[in-house]
Every structure is written in C-alpha cells, then in structure tokens.
Amino acid sequence: MTMRAGLMPKLLHPFFIGLGGTLLMAALFTDAMYSSNSLMQWANFSAWLIVGGLVLALIAVIVLGIDFALGNAGEIRWLDFCLLGAAAILSLFNVFVHTRDAWTSVVPTGITLSIVVTILLLPAGLRGWRVTTARISDGGESP
C-alpha cells in the first residue's frame, strides 16, 4: 500500500490507550466518591475501572505491535512512553491495593495512587495518547 506525499497513516494504538487512560482516570472519581460516603460499591467500581484500564493497556500494547508491523509507527516518543508505562505499573499496584477490605482499599493508598496515575496520564492525553509518531511515506508518487 503506497501513500501520497504528506498523507500520514492512521495509528491504531492511540484509540486503545485513550480508552484505557480514561478508565484509569475515572477511578480517581470513584475513589473520591468512596472516601466521601463510604459506600462500598464505589470501591468496587474503582477496582473494575482499574482492571478495565489495564486490560485496554494490554490491548494497546498488542495494537502498537501491529502499528510497527504495518510500518505505520515511526519513532518512539519517549516522554509519552515513560508516562504511560509508569501509569500502567502504578495502576497494577493500585488494583492490588483495591482488593483489600473496606476503608483500606481506597484510603489513603488507593486514592493516592489514583491521583498519581491521573497526573501521569493527563500530559499523555493532552499530547494525543500516542507513544510513536506516524511514519510519513511519500510512496514515490506525485500528488
């Protein structure tokens, strides 16, 4: 498949990174709700959101491999890669914290981890949820 000059291929991985990142950031909201009213279902929602975000992060890694295999991915954007990687690792710890019973599943460690993860994900989201640049291919054709 050749492309005209100036056209960039559509990267597949930002969609899945964005979905996973949104779920991980939503866990901060449900943690805050639990800490304000102690209704256990909010802590359950947080655990579900974190697990869902981590599953989507795994899918994003697989799709990123597909982006590289198709030749659509260019250079790795190391800042975004490190931000998203750190957020994923902290979220893995956070899901284990959320498996505790009652109040200690969220306060103080769970909500603190959710805050740090959200702080890490915000710049990555503002930069487009991409860990690579799109490879520009001229394809040898004239426009």
Q: Does the residue 142 lie in any domain? A: no
In a domain, 137, yes or no: no
Q: CB-based contacts of 124: which residues, under 8 Å, 6+ apart?
A: 17, 21, 80, 83, 84, 87
Distance CA(4)–CA(137), nearest Å, equals: 7
33/29 Cα distance (integer angstroms): 6
Is residue 57 in a domain? yes
81 inside domain: yes
Give the number of domains in the chain. 1
Structural domain harbouring 76: 15-132
41-50: average pLDDT: 96
Tell whether 72 is covered by a domain.
yes
In tens, the pLDDT along 119-140 reads 999 999 999 999 999 887 655 4
| pTM (two decimals) | 0.88
